[in-house]
Amino acid sequence: MASSFSFASTRIPSSVLPATGGGYVLLMDSLRTPRSLQSTANTTELAIRPLLRRPNRNAALCFVLKKEGEAGPLSADMAKSEKGISARSAQKRAERQIYLFAAMMSSLGFTSMAAAAVYYRFAMQTEGLEIPLVEMVGTFSLAVGATVGMEYWARWAHRALWHASLWHMHKSHHRPRDGPFELNDIFAVINAAPAVCLLAFGFFNRGLIPSLCFGAGLGITLFGMAYMFVHDGLVHRRFPVGPIANVPYFRRVAAAHQLHHADKFGGVPHGLFLGPAELEDVGGGEELQKEINRRTKVYDKASDGSI
């Protein structure tokens, strides 16, 4: 046979191969007896030799060599598989873009609404000669208190409601997502409703109680915005978060929430921003550090362009 065969990056003359008549040859040899391959040409030995150094010596080598330029029997399947992978990747990118658009629109809407409400409310409070310091301090205090308190509310609701009576909705967050949205996203709308009502009541009314309500609505809004960026963006990568991913404590938060999905400690942590402390309280500090190291390697490779 005057034709030649190609294996890896080495050209193997057909004269060193057994005559087969069909144009293909199947070489099989146990790793226990690599000397049987020494009868072939040096080029063949050099191509196969690195594979013989694998630690598992009970395996067997199996190679199918084809004529150069001829399509192999698996070419169609490989092309189909690559096409499927490309289609899934394109679908994931499209889903991320859709969710990113929805997140940006909702973020801009709530942020602009809250900022305008704060500006006009304090402007109205400072119109007269008397500045209502008590109301302003109450608004600020409730804003901070509601922001912190929402973390504890979310922790309790996550454990007592979402993983209990509302699991039929929340389980969509613990399953592979089919599409840009999941049923669990409805909880964001549920939490936004009281925030809007409190902001509206505090904006259109005067007095200490409306001021406290306005502060509470503002705190819920701030927590919701932070939760979306850290939970949906950083942890589950539903949209890019930029430099937030480089904040060390947020990396700890992301690693802790990943362990919640792994269910290694009975679902702990159920909170988000104080999740690392929850894990350490149940003896999960070592696992948390392992997850942090793993995610750090992924971030570093992604920033270097390795993945």
More confident residue, 23 or 67: 67
| Mean pLDDT score of the chain | 78
pLDDT at 75: 63
- Lay out the sheet containing 60-67: strands in order across: 10-13, 4-7, 60-67, 25-30
pLDDT at 219: 95
**In the structure encoding, which two tokens stand for residue 120, read together?**
């006009």
Task: Out of 56-70, 140-154, 211-225, 265-279, pick the least confident.
Answer: 56-70
Residue 179 is classified by DSSP as S
pLDDT at 99: 78
pLDDT at 132: 87
pLDDT at 201: 94
Cβ-contact 110, 221 below 8 angstroms? yes
Cβ-contact 243, 276 below 8 angstroms? no
pLDDT at 288: 94
Residue 274: closest CA among 150, 168, 116: 150
Cβ-contact 280, 251 below 8 angstroms? no
Cβ-contact 272, 151 below 8 angstroms? yes
Average pLDDT score over residue span 31-36? 47
Residue 96: closest CA among 236, 255, 221: 236
Query: Residue 46 above 60 pLDDT?
Result: no
- Structural Rg of the chain based on CA atoms: 31
Average pLDDT score over residue span 136-154? 95
Residue 15: closest CA among 26, 24, 28, 4: 4
Q: Compute the distance between CA of residue 128 and CA of residue 207 in angstroms, rounded to an integer.
A: 14
Task: Out of 117-126, 180-189, 265-274, pick the least confident.
Answer: 117-126
Task: State the pLDDT confidence band at 5, using cuts at 50, 70 and 90.
Answer: very low
Surface-to-core class of residue 165, CB atoms within 10 Å of its CB (0-12 exposed, 13-18 middle, 19+ buried) = exposed
pLDDT at 72: 54
Cβ-contact 30, 60 below 8 angstroms? yes
Query: Residue 160 above 60 pLDDT?
Result: yes
Average pLDDT score over residue span 238-247? 86
Task: State the pLDDT confidence band at 65, using cuts at 50, 70 and 90.
Answer: low
List all residues 6 or more positions away from 62 whose beta carbon is below 8 Å from its beta carbon: 26, 27, 28
pLDDT at 164: 95
The string of pLDDT tens digits covering residues 71-126 is 555 566 677 777 777 777 777 777 778 877 877 787 777 788 888 888 888 888 88
pLDDT at 152: 96
Average pLDDT score over residue span 207-222? 94
Beta strands 60-67 and 25-30, pairing class = antiparallel
Average pLDDT score over residue span 178-207? 90
Q: Compute the distance between CA of residue 31 and CA of residue 16 in angstroms, rounded to an integer.
A: 21
Query: What percent of the chain shows pLDDT beyond 70?
Result: 72
Query: What percent of the chain shows pLDDT beyond 90?
Result: 42
Longest CA–CA separation in the chain, Å: 105
